[in-house]
Structure 1
Amino acid sequence: MPRNPFRPYTPDPDFLARLPEGYSGNRVNGLGETEVRPPHMVWWTPDMDAAPFGEAQKWFYAHEQPDDEMRALRAERHRVVGTPLPEVAATPVERSPEDWTAALQAFVEAGDCEMTGVARLRPEWVFDHAETGFETVIVLGVQHIHDELKHVPALRGGKDVTRQYGRAAAVSMKVAAWLRDQGWDADPITGPMTGKILMIPPALECGFGELGKHGSIINPEFGSAFRLGAVLTNAPFATTPRRDFGIDEFCTNCRVCEDACPPVAIAPEKQTVRGVEKWYVDFDRCIPFFAETSGCAICIAVCPWSRPGVGMNLAAKLARRAERLESQ
């Protein structure tokens, strides 16, 4: 593999000075904890004055390269998220669970998103600062433009990250409004700011893909080059099944994101986090470079599955291999 142009990496001392003294993001995330528990907010806090990493997050925004297009993309996302939702209609529309879930395909067909799925909400997905009376989470996925994303950590790639967060926010708001118009309360969850729930666990549960070594989901069609939105509701949707594509085993034997990570934050083996053994990115190593580059995203861009046209062939190859092993 070519030499990593960002290594060796030394964090900016000014950023390090903004980190909370004696406070580890890994500890907040539950690294090494053997009991399942709700997550604590660590980054992307809406109220930076009230969070331990708030000063570091302010530094992140203050050191972003000035760019009119980026400002416009952020402003549009804020406008979308700030748009009032309609009141919940008095009479709920009745459909079968299967018909409710099938109706989500209309948002894919309209180009609002590329993936939809449904899972039952679990307590361990809800942040400890939040409460929700909803039982179901609809997950929505929007694809990156790979020819733009591949330029990360340069600004050009970062713009597509912001662009897709905007699309994810827009479709989340649209689905929530659609449900409320049909008499079902709905609460949109948008990124990147921390909302009421984690979005990766329900996305895994509803069949979007498998967790990759880089801590993001890998989907056989879109790789890791997509962003998530979600909607909480009690409308009676049928859930969509979790799926196994052989990606987890692939990641065990792949080092592409490990070798590409400038601060060496991606571990070669799984770790226990809040009672679950899984791939985990070292927050304390990752966050300085993430902040200095306004979001990094190198790991998802270099992932072999993210290259257009590669993932489905890889998935088919892994499926054939699994069939051969089963037949032996």
Structure 2
Amino acid sequence: MKILNALVEQVRVRAGKLATDPRLRRAPSLPARFRRKFLSPRTPWDMDVRVPALLKGYPGIVRDPAGEAEAFAAGPLPDFMLANAGPLVWLRGFMWRSTLPAAPRRQRATALAQRVSDRPPSPATTVPADQLTTGLKELAAQIGLSGIGVAHYDEKYIFESFLGTEVGDRMIVCALEQAWAPTQKIPSSESEQTALSTYAEAMTLASAIGDYLVDHGYRVKVHDAAGPGMAIHFAVEAGLGQLGLNGQLLTPVGSRCRLILVNTNAPLVLDEPKDFGIPALCDACQVCVRRCPPGAIPVKRKFKRGVEKSSLNTKRCLPIVAQAHGCAICMKVCPVQRYGLQEVLNEFEATGEILGRGTDELEAYHWPIDGRTYGVGQKPRMSPELTSPSDMGDINLGRHDPERLSEREIEQARDWA
């Protein structure tokens, strides 16, 4: 048995490393009939959400500007992926069943994004900023991006290792909805592959946005899935959603979407944060808090780096993410993800109830670690072996030590998302 376990562990580690090999971009993708179920619906969202009066609050996120400035002065935003290169490489070994099939498309999409970013701008055009912005958003709708918005580049929300690499003062946020049906199978390798496949699609579409701006004479930097900073911050500022109690961006389809950032010096018209009624809705709901297997989601928000938010217990969350096909129970049981924001808002306005709460349709999930299905009021047992695996290494919530990381570890850590 020890020999068999050692062989399984060796296969797991090697498969995890292979999934990040850049040479995979030359490998063929799965046949179309196998990829079809993972494809995004590519339908632009209706952002004109009608929020009931009893759920109206504030646009975007509650911020303390002085607190934000003080936090940045004390130290730039640490890059979680670099600070946790070891644990994330360990995680990759568990998730190879989903990462490996999607790797060729993701590698090609990353290479395309780099080529677009490296393109020298065409001679500058005289298109006014408002027309340039309108044309950009019309293109986004034509190619199938679910949402797009423009925010101001803010160094306070850029990871330390990316500071000084910007090409302009605008950050475009490209959002792409992922397929509904496989997402409802969370947690599974199929649902995780859906997320990774959607990232590849989103990068490809974001590259088309980049080409548009380069053709008009501007510089761009199309980022990969890991991104240069907090994508949720820029998405909120761009009016694409609000921060949910589960720590995720809730859009018209909840967090069932993937975000890609494009930095540019194009003088695009800035969008503004919106009030979607999410904070009050989340406070009334709290299904994700109850259903989180390791209990990593707090009930109350607190200020962190000048922002009022729900700070997840990463040390309890990440080990389960690795061992349970990405987990994401907090995403699956969110009624906004399953039914759509407007439907949930309408139900709350009519009845005062959260659509689906207290039903197995919304709250039940199959747990891959023990093979059981857990319905309302039931949760899998969290053993010390699951929540604190001895071979994972310590999770670091601070800054990384460059002296301790090899280039390969850095590459694998930033490519895990």
> Given the two structures, how large is their TM-score scaled by the length of structure 2?
0.62
The Cα of 1:305 is off from its aligned counterpart by 0.5
Whole-Å separation in 1 of the counterparts to 2:307 and 2:341: 27
Deviation track 1:155-180 (CA, whole Å, cap 9, x = no partner) reads: 11111111111112112222122211
Whole-Å separation in 1 of the counterparts to 2:210 and 2:140: 15
Q: 1:267 aligns with which of 285, 294, 298?
A: 298
Cross-structure match for 1:41: 79
**Where do 1:305-320 residues align within 5 Å?**
305-308=336-339, 310-316=340-346
Q: 1:279 aligns with which of 292, 310, 334?
A: 310
Cross-structure match for 1:72: 101
The Cα of 1:122 is off from its aligned counterpart by 1.3
Question: 3-state DSSP class of the match of 1:253?
Answer: helix
Question: 3-state DSSP class of the match of 1:230?
Answer: strand
Cross-structure match for 2:150: 118
Aligned length, in residue pairs: 276
Q: Is the 1:188–1:230 contact (alpha carbons within 8 Å) kept by the matching residues of 2?
A: yes
Whole-Å separation in 2 of the counterparts to 1:170 and 1:319: 39
The Cα of 1:87 is off from its aligned counterpart by 2.3
Cross-structure match for 1:154: 188
**Where do 1:181-220 residues align within 5 Å?**
181-191=215-225, 193=226, 195-219=227-251
User: In structure 2, what residue type is equivalent to 1:75?
Assistant: P
Q: Is the 1:172–1:190 contact (alpha carbons within 8 Å) kept by the matching residues of 2?
A: no
Q: Within the alignment, does 1:180 sit opposite 2:211 as a pair?
A: no
Deviation track 1:81-122 (CA, whole Å, cap 9, x = no partner) reads: 113226223411222222222122334333441101011111
Q: Is the 2:242–2:276 contact (alpha carbons within 8 Å) kept by the matching residues of 1?
A: yes
Whole-Å separation in 2 of the counterparts to 1:227 and 1:66: 20
User: In structure 2, what residue type is equivalent to 1:72?
Assistant: P
Deviation track 1:41-78 (CA, whole Å, cap 9, x = no partner) reads: 112x4xxxxxx4222111111122536xx523222111
User: In structure 2, what residue type is equivalent to 1:181?
Assistant: D
Q: Is the 1:246–1:319 contact (alpha carbons within 8 Å) kept by the matching residues of 2?
A: no
Identify unmatched segments of 5+ residues in structure 1: 1-32, 46-51, 322-328
Whole-Å separation in 2 of the counterparts to 1:125 and 1:318: 34
What's the Cα RMSD here?
2.2
Deviation track 1:277-319 (CA, whole Å, cap 9, x = no partner) reads: 21221211111111212422221121110124x4113345678
Cross-structure match for 1:250: 281
Cross-structure match for 1:167: 201
Check 1:103–1:315 CA distance in 2 against 1; reply closer, same or farther (3 A cut).
farther
Q: 1:135 aligns with which of 140, 165, 169?
A: 169
**Where do 1:286-301 residues align within 5 Å?**
286-301=317-332
Cross-structure match for 1:87: 119
Q: Is the 2:213–2:219 contact (alpha carbons within 8 Å) kept by the matching residues of 1?
A: yes
Q: Is the 2:253–2:336 contact (alpha carbons within 8 Å) kept by the matching residues of 1?
A: yes
Whole-Å separation in 2 of the counterparts to 1:227 and 1:245: 19
Q: Is the 1:88–1:182 contact (alpha carbons within 8 Å) kept by the matching residues of 2?
A: no
Which structure would you say has the larger Rg? 2
Cross-structure match for 2:15: none
Greater Cα offset, 91-100 or 279-288: 91-100
User: In structure 2, what residue type is equivalent to 1:272?
Assistant: F
Whole-Å separation in 1 of the counterparts to 2:150 and 2:130: 11
Identify unmatched segments of 5+ residues in structure 2: 1-66, 352-417
Cross-structure match for 1:13: none
Cross-structure match for 1:63: 94
User: In structure 2, what residue type is equivalent to 1:216?
Assistant: Q
Alignment identity in percent? 25
Deviation track 1:223-248 (CA, whole Å, cap 9, x = no partner) reads: 22111011101101001121102111
Check 1:58–1:106 CA distance in 2 against 1; reply closer, same or farther (3 A cut).
same
User: In structure 2, what residue type is equivalent to 1:311?
Assistant: L
Whole-Å separation in 2 of the counterparts to 1:303 and 1:161: 16
Cross-structure match for 2:272: 241
Relative to its length, the structure with more helix (as a share) is 2
Question: 3-state DSSP class of the match of 2:282?
Answer: helix
Whole-Å separation in 2 of the counterparts to 1:56 and 1:281: 17
> Given the two structures, how large is their TM-score scaled by the length of structure 1?
0.78
Q: Is the 1:113–1:167 contact (alpha carbons within 8 Å) kept by the matching residues of 2?
A: no
